[in-house]
């Protein structure tokens, strides 16, 4: 559990009230950090990849900080609104314009918070963008409006477009290297269960690593506007055990010519095999 501590410990403030406020703000952080897995999700979901899980914990950390700061500001604002309502038409308050120690305080504390957030970001980011050496590589090619998944060293190719969602098969519990590119416009490779997305750019091969921790079928889709059928550019990611993955790859080896000849048909035929999931049942209302 690497929920970053976000205690706003900054320059000493002068009044006792401020110190008390600060202590009140630090307590929930400590409490939440200690309680580990019971930290609320703040709307996000724990992911099915290692890096996705790290991002999820970072999300929780940011959310705790945002909740504390947001609550503090709202309380200050509410107090000002309720307490300092105008009582008479000609009452003039003290014309206070500066309070340098206070201004320094609310400059320095945010700087410290930002440094903390940045440090936590760096730790997670280095995990997420790391590209370790892997045994499994998948080439993902996005196009208008579909996906092609090919497996270097094998003749396996899966293609699907608009009304027919392709499935990317990958093994669980190991690093999988993805080479992502596009043949036409910019697309977005997004698997919500992995808490991850990356652009598929024409002329660029984007490389990243996925390490799934659960088997299952996960839904993916294009997130970057790519033209008319952008709303229909779906795919599935089927995470299977390594042995299932090997036997799936081997199922292609006899029929490489046929595979190359009609990639779309290959994808279709794979729909009936035991490990590739049945197609989602929703019909797509392309007009």
Torsion 17-19-23-29 (CA) sign: positive
Query: What is the x/- site pattern for another protein, positions 228-247, by CB under 8 A?
Result: xxxxx-x-------------
Region 135-154 residues binding another protein, contact defined as CB under 8 A: 144
- Region of 18-26, 150-158, 185-193, 255-263 interacting with another protein (CB under 8 A): 185-193
**132 is a contact residue toward another protein (CB under 8 A):** no
Name the residue with tokens 């790290």: 54
Instruction: Identify the residue among 20, 23, 99, 246 touching another protein (CB under 8 A).
Output: 99
Region 16-55 residues binding another protein, contact defined as CB under 8 A: 43-45, 47, 51-52, 54-55
DSSP 36: G
Q: How far is the CB of 139 from another protein (least distance, A)?
A: 15
Instruction: Identify the residue among 27, 227, 254, 260 touching another protein (CB under 8 A).
Output: 227
Bridge-based pairing of strands 187-191 and 196-200 is antiparallel
Task: Calculate the CA 187 to chain-centre distance.
Answer: 16
Size of the site for another protein (CB under 8 A): 93
* Residue 138 near residue 181 (C-beta atoms within 8 A): no
Cα separation of 142 and 140, whole Å?
7
Q: How far is the CB of 225 from another protein (least distance, A)?
A: 5
**128 is a contact residue toward another protein (CB under 8 A):** yes
Instruction: Identify the residue among 17, 36, 97, 133 touching another protein (CB under 8 A).
Output: 97
Nearest by Cα to 240 from 220, 272, 219, 217 = 217
- Three-state DSSP state, 19: helix
Nearest by Cα to 151 from 285, 253, 59 = 253
Task: Calculate the CA 58 to chain-centre distance.
Answer: 10
- Region of 19-27, 31-39, 226-234, 271-279 interacting with another protein (CB under 8 A): 226-234
- Between 194 and 245, CB nearer to another protein: 194
Q: How far is the CB of 241 from another protein (least distance, A)?
A: 26
């Amino acid at each position: 559990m690497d929920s970053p501590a976000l205690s706003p410990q900054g320059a000493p403030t002068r009044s006792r009230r401020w110190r008390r406020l600060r202590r009140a703000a630090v307590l929930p952080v400590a409490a939440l950090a200690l309680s580990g897995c019971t930290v609320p999700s703040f709307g996000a979901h724990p992911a099915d990849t290692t890096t996705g899980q790290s991002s999820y914990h970072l999300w929780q950390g940011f959310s705790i900080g945002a909740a504390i700061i947001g609550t503090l500001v709202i309380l200050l604002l509410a107090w000002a609104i309720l307490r300092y309502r105008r009582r008479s038409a000609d009452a003039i308050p003290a014309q206070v314009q500066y309070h340098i120690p206070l201004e320094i305080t609310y400059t320095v504390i945010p700087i410290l918070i930002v440094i903390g957030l940045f440090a936590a970001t760096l730790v997670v980011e280095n995990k997420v963008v790391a590209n370790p050496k892997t045994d499994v590589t998948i080439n993902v090619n996005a196009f208008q409006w579909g996906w092609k998944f090919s497996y270097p060293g094998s003749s396996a190719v899966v293609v699907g477009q608009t009304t027919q969602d392709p499935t990317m098969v990958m093994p669980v519990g190991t690093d999988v290297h993805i080479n992502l590119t596009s043949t036409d416009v910019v697309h977005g490779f997004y698997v919500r269960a992995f808490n991850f997305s990356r652009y598929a750019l024409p002329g660029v091969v984007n490389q990243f690593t996925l390490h799934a921790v659960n088997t299952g079928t996960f839904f993916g889709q294009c997130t970057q506007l790519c033209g008319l059928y952008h709303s229909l550019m779906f795919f599935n990611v089927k995470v299977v055990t390594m042995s299932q993955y090997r036997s799936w790859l081997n199922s292609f080896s006899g029929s490489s010519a046929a595979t190359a000849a009609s990639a779309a048909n290959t994808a279709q035929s794979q729909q009936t095999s035991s490990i590739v999931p049945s197609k989602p049942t929703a019909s797509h209302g392309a007009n």
